[in-house]
């Protein structure tokens, strides 16, 4: 509540959208509270706002990239339980409560797990604080990463409970049922790399835990069954995502296997902010001090506090058991992956799925390991039977290692400290003071006499750990007033006055994608975690340029096919007046693109090109006229004659009118004097169906990426509907998962009654 007080009590939203106001068309000279959280205000928040404005769960998003499957874009998290719970509040007002619930549940789940492992209440409180306020949870709080990460301790709790209740088969069955529900919630969180990594961790934990168990095969079967039920429960989200992933261009470009931290980042476990913080400034400190750390703040930060690090060391040294060994290996074992020690990067490159997963995010496991080990260490520190000498040895080793790291840090930067100005020097000293107090807390804990009042020391250690972690996390996720959340701008108002169906195209970060969808403006660009490969190939712009809001190197190809009516720029462009004319010049320059095609139009001739490369080359040629001929990739169905369920009445002139264009439904009235093809410049994708005057008809892929239906002569009403089969199958599978879950719960209760009898 202290960390999130502004968004909980002061009428602000826990969203960093103020950073977007530094771009056109807003062009406000304000300080961005945290520019590092760009994925939130450039990708997630606009789409969440679009969903909220629809007052429903739209499966299709027509506002970016000529249309994308909103349901398949898993990072939107349409079915994430917390998002569904707070959906009536919208993304602005619901952001603070959502963050509060996530952090509280993450801490509570951690407490449940470590209490099951046998630690004391205060020790479990320390573990909950450390995990929920760790660097990973704070810097990724507004991202879908935390939606998945928060369930990790609960999954471990249910798995451990199933082992401990192994003698009571009914209780074990119920524990695995709880595991299945938590696993489904993790998947619905919306970040596939995180739930892949967590799944691998759970498998390793199970293999280590099952050693020596008499009923290991039965437990393995129950684990497989629980995972299967979790997948079934999440199927309405998972199957559309898989459908989208198979047609995306995302995995072709990111090469996540090559992302690792430099060893310079280790210093941030002791001084997380000393070299600058995007929410507090002073990010020029590494350059001023000659510290070569190329890693960005979000990726490198695994801060867990100073005292918890010492308590974790005590847990390892003073309480050797299977659990401490497991989490020691987990924490240490992730280091080679996080820092890319050879030959691991080469191995990650060739492994399927894992080559698309960022190994730096394994800092999540480091945070959980420290939290659990710190709980064990806490009980050793405050045990009345503690061995003062052994604890002194542990403290000496811990302080020596920390001191060696700080000496190396000082060796690199010491010569340049005197060059800092007063503000930078004060900031640096303040962060070093936080470290000093943390070290002092460690010394007090070691030197505190065992016969003194232990509750005072407990309060001191817990209190300082809380202050330390709050000092790190305070303000990193900024809260802003409502008037800074995607406010209107004159250029946007001008675009909104045009009620025709059109798209815009812009260069660079101005009116950045996906922000137009907040205002109901369709954009030929877009930021999506995946992106339809056919569309990427059609526009001819590299994914890292167009889809991830970097400035495009060139104009997108085939603009005339994208229904682009307006081009937006920050400065005058030398455009051919035959193709573009300026229509708006206030702050932002907007040009009307004259060759713009209507969103829907009739074509009376077609060609079939089954070769994709040849089809793309043909429509990209300057002489290709989309109004004269439509390029199809299969023979269209034969047009019905008038009166055979197709068009009705007679028509002397051709006309097309889009009656309604909703996310999941499009209705068009057409009139044609002879058989024709209705082309709709929206992305072709499985799940779209069409009817002509109520009679089903087949949609064929047109002009490489779009949709077309065959029309007979006469008047016709065409209705396009997005009803993905993947979602319907997912619902059936979810129903099967619920039945399996209910059966497990019922049989678990029945087994308990029988055992009691």
Give the pLDDT confidence of 361-411 residue by residue, as tens digits.
999 999 999 999 999 999 999 886 677 888 899 999 999 999 999 999 999
pLDDT given at position 249? 72
Distance CA 42, CA 36 (A): 11
Closest CA to 379 of 438, 322, 440, 324: 324
Is beta strand 665-672 parallel, antiparallel or unpaired with respect to 700-702?
unpaired
Q: What is the Cα–Cα distance from 191 to 75, expressed in whole angstroms?
A: 6
pLDDT at 610: 83
Predicted local distance difference test score (pLDDT) of residue 642: 47
The reported pLDDT for the residue numbered 640 is 59
| CA dist., res. 512 & res. 5, Å (int) | 30
For the four alpha carbons of 520, 522, 527 and 528, in that order, the dihedral sign comes to positive
Give the per-residue pLDDT at 651. Answer: 57
pLDDT average, residue stretch 56-72: 94
Given pLDDT bands bounded at 50, 70 and 90, which one contains residue 540? confident
Q: Express each pLDDT in 594-617 by its tens digit.
A: 999 999 999 999 999 888 999 999
**Residue 649, beta-bridge partner list:** none
Instruction: Quickly tell me which residue has 């960390």 as its tokens.
Output: 3
754, two tokens? 């029988």
- DSSP letter for each residue of 449-500: -TTS-HHHHHHHHHHHHHHHHHHHHTTTS--B-GGGSS---HHHHHHHT--S
Whether the CB-CB separation of 428 and 420 falls below 8 Å is answered with yes
**pLDDT on residue 559:** 87
Tell me what the mean pLDDT of segment 480-495 comes to.
95
CA distance 34 to 136: 16
More confident residue, 635 or 707: 707
Q: Find the range with the poorest average confidence among 514-528, 567-581, 680-694.
A: 567-581
Say yes or no to pLDDT of 719 above 60: yes
**497-511, 582-596, 603-617, 637-651: lowest mean pLDDT where?**
637-651
Question: Can you tell me the mean pLDDT for 449-474?
Answer: 90
CA 608 to mean position of chain CA atoms = 40
Determine the 3-state secondary structure of 412 from DSSP. helix
Mean pLDDT of 535-564: 71
Averaged pLDDT for residues 651-655: 76
With bands split at pLDDT 50, 70 and 90, how would you rate the model's confidence at 516? very high
Q: Which residues, at least 6 apart from 645, have a Cβ–Cβ distance to it below 8 Å?
A: 692, 693, 694, 695
Half-sphere exposure of 321 (CA within 13 A, CB side): 14
| Whole-angstrom distance, CA of residue 217 vs CA of residue 230 | 20
Mean pLDDT of the chain: 90
Q: What pTM was computed for the model?
A: 0.93
Measured CA to CA in angstroms, residue 374 lies from 124, 329, 338, 678 at distances of 9, 15, 22, 66
Q: How many residues does the chain have?
A: 757
Q: How far is CA 101 from the centre of its chain?
A: 17
Q: How far is CA 354 from the centre of its chain?
A: 17
229, 526, 561 from 61: Cα distances, Å: 30, 11, 19
- Angle at which helix 388-413 crosses helix 422-447, to 10 degrees, equals 170
Q: What is the pLDDT of residue 635?
A: 85
Burial of 239 (0-12, 13-18, 19+ CB in 10 A): buried
Tokens representing 463 are: 């209190």
* Residue 710 β-bridge partners: 677
* pLDDT of amino acid 557: 74
In whole angstroms, give the CA distance from residue 588 to residue 566: 12
E strand or H helix at 109, and its extent?
helix 90-116
Q: What is the side-by-side strand order in the sheet with 589-593?
A: 522-523, 503-506, 564-569, 589-593, 580-584
DSSP secondary structure code for residue 593 in this structure: E
Count of CB atoms situated within 10 Å of the CB of 455: 10
Q: What is the mean pLDDT of residues 736-755?
A: 74
| pLDDT at res. 550 | 53
pLDDT given for residue 541 in this prediction: 66
Provide the pLDDT confidence category of residue 555 given band limits of 50, 70 and 90.
low
Q: What is the mean pLDDT of residues 673-686?
A: 95
What is the tens place of the pLDDT at every residue in 141-174?
Answer: 999 999 999 999 999 999 999 999 877 888 889 9
Q: What is the distance between the alpha carbons of residues 122 and 567, in angstroms, rounded to a whole number?
A: 61
Is 606:677 a contact under the CB 8 Å cutoff? yes
- Helix (H) or strand (E) segment spanning residue 580: strand 580-584
Q: What is the mean pLDDT of residues 691-711?
A: 95
**pLDDT tens sequence across 83-137:** 999 999 999 999 999 999 999 999 999 999 999 999 999 999 999 999 999 999 9
């Amino acid at each position: 509540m202290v960390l999130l007080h502004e968004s909980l009590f002061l009428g602000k939203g826990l969203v960093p959208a103020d950073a977007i106001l530094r771009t056109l068309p807003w062009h406000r000279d304000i300080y961005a509270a945290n520019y590092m959280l760009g994925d939130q205000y450039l990708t997630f928040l606009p789409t969440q706002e679009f969903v909220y404005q629809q007052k429903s769960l739209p499966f299709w998003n027509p506002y970016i990239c000529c249309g994308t499957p909103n349901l398949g874009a898993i990072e939107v998290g349409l079915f994430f339980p917390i998002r569904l719970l707070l959906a009536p509040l919208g993304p602005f007002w619901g952001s603070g409560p959502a963050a509060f619930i996530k952090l509280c549940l993450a801490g509570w789940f951690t407490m449940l797990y470590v209490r099951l492992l046998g630690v004391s209440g205060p020790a479990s409180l320390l573990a909950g604080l450390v995990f929920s306020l760790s660097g990973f949870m704070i810097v990724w709080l507004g991202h879908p990463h935390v939606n998945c990460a928060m369930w990790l301790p609960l999954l471990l709790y249910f798995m451990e409970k199933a082992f401990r209740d192994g003698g009571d088969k009914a209780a074990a069955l119920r524990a695995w049922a709880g595991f299945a529900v938590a696993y489904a919630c993790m998947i619905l969180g919306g970040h596939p790399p995180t739930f892949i990594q967590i799944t691998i961790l759970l498998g390793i934990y199970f293999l280590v835990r099952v050693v020596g168990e008499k009923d290991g095969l039965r437990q393995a079967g129950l684990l497989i069954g629980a995972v299967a039920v979790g997948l079934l429960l999440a199927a309405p989200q998972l199957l559309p995502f898989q459908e989208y992933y198979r047609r995306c261009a995302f995995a072709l470009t990111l090469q996540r296997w090559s992302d690792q931290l430099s060893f310079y980042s280790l210093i941030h476990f002791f001084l997380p902010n000393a070299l600058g913080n995007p929410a507090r400034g002073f990010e020029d400190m590494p350059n001023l001090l000659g510290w070569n750390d190329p890693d960005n703040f979000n990726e490198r930060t695994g801060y867990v506090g100073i005292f918890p690090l010492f308590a974790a060391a005590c847990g390892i040294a003073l309480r050797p058991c299977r659990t401490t060994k497991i989490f020691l290996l987990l924490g240490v074992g992730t280091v080679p992956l996080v820092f890319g020690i050879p030959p691991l990067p080469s191995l990650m490159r060739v492994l399927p799925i894992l080559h698309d997963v960022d190994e730096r995010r394994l800092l999540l496991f480091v945070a959980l390991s420290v939290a659990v080990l710190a709980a064990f260490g806490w009980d050793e520190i405050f045990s009345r039977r503690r061995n003062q000498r052994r604890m002194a040895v542990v403290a000496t080793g811990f302080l020596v290692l920390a001191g060696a790291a700080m000496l190396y840090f000082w060796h690199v930067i010491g010569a340049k400290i005197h060059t800092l100005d007063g503000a930078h020097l004060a900031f640096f000293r303040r962060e070093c003071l936080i470290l000093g107090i943390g070290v002092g807390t460690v010394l007090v804990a070691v030197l505190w006499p065992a016969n003194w009042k232990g509750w005072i020391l407990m309060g001191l250690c817990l209190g300082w750990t809380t202050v330390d972690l709050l000092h790190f996390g305070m303000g990193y996720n900024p809260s802003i007033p409502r008037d800074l959340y995607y406010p209107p701008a004159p250029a946007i108002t001008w675009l909104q006055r045009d009620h025709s169906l059109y798209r815009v195209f812009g260069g660079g970060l101005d009116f950045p994608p996906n922000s137009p969808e907040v205002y109901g403006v369709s954009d030929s660009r877009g930021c999506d975690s995946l992106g339809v490969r056919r569309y990427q190939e059609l526009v001819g712009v590299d994914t890292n340029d167009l889809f991830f809001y970097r400035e495009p190197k060139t104009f997108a190809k085939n603009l005339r096919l994208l229904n682009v009516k307006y081009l937006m720029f920050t400065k005058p462009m030398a455009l051919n007046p035959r193709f573009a004319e300026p229509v708006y010049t206030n702050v932002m320059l907007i040009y009307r693109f004259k060759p713009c095609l209507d969103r829907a139009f009739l074509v009376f001739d077609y060609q079939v090109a089954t070769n994709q490369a040849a089809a793309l080359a043909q429509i990209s040629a300057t002489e290709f006229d989309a109004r004269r001929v439509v390029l199809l990739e299969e023979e269209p169905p034969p047009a019905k004659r008038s009166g055979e369920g197709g068009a009705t009445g007679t028509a002397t002139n051709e006309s097309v009118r889009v009656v309604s264009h909703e996310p999941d439904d499009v209705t068009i009235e057409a009139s044609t004097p002879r058989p024709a093809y209705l082309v709709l410049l929206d992305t072709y994708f499985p799940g779209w169906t069409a009817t002509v005057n109520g009679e089903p008809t087949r949609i064929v892929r047109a002009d490489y990426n779009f949709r077309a239906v065959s029309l007979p002569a006469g008047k016709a009403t065409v209705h396009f509907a997005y009803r993905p089969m993947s979602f319907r199958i997912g619902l059936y599978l979810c129903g099967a998962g619920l039945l399996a879950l209910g059966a497990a719960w019922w049989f678990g209760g029945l087994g308990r009654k029988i055992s009691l009898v």
